Amino acid sequence: MKKKEKETPQEEGIKAKKSLGQNFLNSDGALDAIIKAGRVTKGDKVLEIGPGKGALTKRLLETGANVVAVEKDDRLIPILEDLFAKEINTKKLTLIHGDVLKFDPSLYGLKAKEYKLIANIPYYITGEITRKFLSGNFQPSLIVVLVQKEVAERITTSTQGSVKIKEGKESILSISVKAYGQPKYIQTVKAGSFFPPPKVDSAILLIDNISKKNFENIFKEQKFFDVVKTGFAHKRKTLSSNLKRFTTKEKLSEFGINQKERAENITLEQWLEIARNT
Ligand code: SAM
């Protein structure tokens, strides 16, 4: 029989709150893979969202990284303070009791491109978190997060640059992430690796080389998303019909886009081309 390695959060007396997306990670293999995907080394600055009971925090600190961790659940704060008293004292860990969606990284020495975001995030705010940290003014250099498997699959679908590498459909989500960085599906994490287990399997997602190089200014960024959202607005319609108010069939064919093409088959480079030229 397999030896039991550690107590689960339930055994330690904290009942997981569904409303806060609490599924505590209980897998050494997954923790190793997260640290490896984030290339976490001594001296790195890391932002962790939702440290929970500290499973990932512990691993991050073991690498010698400096960690800023934001936790919303007040019940978990004394547990974390107790567990990491030494690291808090030596300022290796800064523990913040608060909501990550209201959190300003620059107030805690996390400057754009100079820190990594590494977390087992609460799934109910996956969209808000990715939007905030990809399009905000304080982008991390890379992101490693656990997300629902299906979300990771949708984000990492099909294209690399303008070249299709395998079949798969693009979505507003996948194009939005690719506009800022390079997403990579690292590995599946089975529901049973968490306590309590979520309804679906999860996956470790890396978003590497994050930047705003595709957007010269705010206006271009807004225009890009306006075009992408309009292009995806009516799923059954062709792209040229969805994009009537922005461009013509002739113009689209100049970008190598067939009259009958649908939004899901358009690459990031083609979307950028359309947004820049309409
Ligand atoms: N990191 C821990 C682990 O891997 O076991 C816990 C991960 S659990 C999926 C998500 C954590 O995010 C919980 O501890 C939860 O309380 C916290 N959380 C939920 N909403 C939050 C918010 N808006 N801001 C900060 N933390 C939040």
Q: Is 51 in the pocket of ligand 1 (CB under 6 A)?
A: yes
Which of 37-46, 102-111, 209-218 shows the lowest per-residue confidence on average (mean pLDDT)? 209-218
pTM: 0.91
- Kindly report the average pLDDT of the chain as a whole number: 91
For 79, 117, 233, the CA distances from 21, given in Å and listed in that order, are 18, 18, 30
Q: What is the mean pLDDT of residues 141-151?
A: 97
| Cα gap 115→46, rounded to integer Å | 6
The Cβ of residue 51 has, within 10 Å, a number of other Cβ atoms equal to: 27
Residue 242 has pLDDT above 80, yes or no: yes
Q: Is 25 in the pocket of ligand 1 (CB under 6 A)?
A: yes
Which residue of 15, 20, 47 sits with most ligand 1 atoms within 8 Å of its CB, as the best mutation to test the pocket? 20
Write out the two tokens for 124: 């109910």
Interval between CA 71 and ligand 1 midpoint (Å): 6
Q: What is the mean pLDDT of residues 181-205?
A: 97
Residue with CA closest to ligand 1 atom 20: 20
Interval between CA 244 and ligand 1 midpoint (Å): 43
Residue 31 has pLDDT above 70, yes or no: yes
Write out the two tokens for 200: 């679906």
pLDDT confidence bin for 164, thresholds 50/70/90 = very low
pLDDT confidence bin for 128, thresholds 50/70/90 = very high
Q: Is 123 in the pocket of ligand 1 (CB under 6 A)?
A: no
Residue with CA closest to ligand 1 atom 21: 72
For residues 195 and 189, is the Cβ–Cβ distance under 8 A? Answer: no
For residues 227 and 235, is the Cβ–Cβ distance under 8 A? Answer: no
The pLDDT, as a whole number, for residue 235 is 85
| Cα gap 158→198, rounded to integer Å | 27
Interval between CA 68 and ligand 1 midpoint (Å): 14
The pLDDT, as a whole number, for residue 158 is 66
169: phi then psi, degrees, rounded to nearest 5 = -105, 135
The pLDDT, as a whole number, for residue 11 is 44
| Cα gap 264→272, rounded to integer Å | 15
Residue 163 has pLDDT above 60, yes or no: no
pLDDT confidence bin for 14, thresholds 50/70/90 = confident
The proportion of the chain whose per-residue pLDDT surpasses 70, expressed as a percent, equals 92
Residue 143 has pLDDT above 50, yes or no: yes
The pLDDT, as a whole number, for residue 12 is 57
For residues 96 and 71, is the Cβ–Cβ distance under 8 A? Answer: yes
For residues 189 and 207, is the Cβ–Cβ distance under 8 A? Answer: no
| Cα gap 229→259, rounded to integer Å | 19
Residue with CA closest to ligand 1 atom 12: 50
Interval between CA 213 and ligand 1 midpoint (Å): 31
End-to-end CA distance of the chain: 64
Render 45-56 in DSSP notation, one character per residue.
EEEEE--TTSHH
In 3-state terms the chain splits into helix, strand, coil percentages (rounded to 5) of 40, 20, 45
Give the number of the atom of ligand 1 that is nearest the alpha carbon of residue 100: 24
Render 63-124 in DSSP notation, one character per residue.
TT-EEEEEE--TTHHHHHHHHTHHHHHTTSEEEEES-GGG--GGGGT--TTSSEEEE---GG
Q: Is 128 in the pocket of ligand 1 (CB under 6 A)?
A: no
Q: What is the mean pLDDT of residues 67-93?
A: 98
Q: What is the mean pLDDT of residues 96-115?
A: 97
The pLDDT, as a whole number, for residue 7 is 45
Residue with CA closest to ligand 1 atom 6: 52
Q: What is the mean pLDDT of residues 152-161?
A: 76
Residue 245 has pLDDT above 70, yes or no: yes
Interval between CA 72 and ligand 1 midpoint (Å): 7
Q: What is the mean pLDDT of residues 210-219?
A: 86
Interval between CA 54 and ligand 1 midpoint (Å): 10
Helix (H) or strand (E) holding 146: strand 142-148
For residues 151 and 183, is the Cβ–Cβ distance under 8 A? Answer: no
Interval between CA 22 and ligand 1 midpoint (Å): 6
Tell me the domains of the chain and their CATH numbers. Answer: 18-208 (3.40.50.150), 218-276 (1.10.8.100)
The pLDDT, as a whole number, for residue 9 is 47
The pLDDT, as a whole number, for residue 278 is 84
For 30, 33, 63, 118, 224, the CA distances from 36, given in Å and listed in that order, are 10, 5, 11, 11, 33
The pLDDT, as a whole number, for residue 264 is 93
Give the number of the atom of ligand 1 that is nearest the alpha carbon of residue 57: 1
